[in-house]
Structure 1
Amino acid sequence: MFTGTLTIDLLLGDVHSLKEKRGLIRPVLAELNRRPAVGAAEVAAQDLHRRAVLGIAVVAGSHQRVVELLDDCEGAVAWRPEFELLSVRRRVRSDEDD
């Protein structure tokens, strides 16, 4: 079994309130969470209206599949013009890692 995580730090465009931020972030998280073997949430900067940190976790039977899922999730966030990616941190682990 392999697991992978992405931590995506975003700068939001023309956002002036936390309500507007939720309106942008919520559909992205819903889209990511609809994918099989993927879980996503806003994990930091919840009190900042122009920043968001998304945490994404995936589980698969092979290293290659985890990489494919992480690439797909990163692309789903990166193509959106209302977000600027500040950083992306990626980690892939095997259940044999210790």
Structure 2
Amino acid sequence: MYVGALECDVLLGDVHSLKQKRSVVRPLLAELRRFEVAVAEAGHLDLHRRALIGVSCVAADAGHVTELLDRCERLIAARPELELLSAGTRLYGPED
């Protein structure tokens, strides 16, 4: 069993309140869930122009986990209303 975690720090575009932030982040989280991963806004909760998006998944094959998290990162990076500042991936396997 392999567990993968992706952490994406994003800068939101023309957002001036936490309510506007939610209107950008919620659709992104819903779109990521279509990949059948667990996803949440995991940081920068009190900042209206920043968000930390956490994505995780579990699979029997390390390659599948890596491919799935890469697809999620590409989806986030392709969104025109935000800028991906940084992304980090961790993979945990049977030997960890």
| TM-score under structure 2 length normalisation | 0.95
Match of 1:89 in 2: 88
Match of 1:60 in 2: 59
Aligned residues: 96
Unaligned runs of 5+ in 1: none
Q: Give CA-to-partner distance per residue, 1:50-72, whole Å, 9 cap, x none.
A: 00000100111111000110011
Match of 2:22 in 1: 22
| TM-score under structure 1 length normalisation | 0.94
Partner Cα distance (2:94, 2:15) in 1: 41
RMSD of equivalent CA atoms = 0.8
Match of 2:74, as an amino acid?
G
Partner Cα distance (2:54, 2:87) in 1: 10
Match of 1:61, as an amino acid?
A
Unaligned runs of 5+ in 2: none
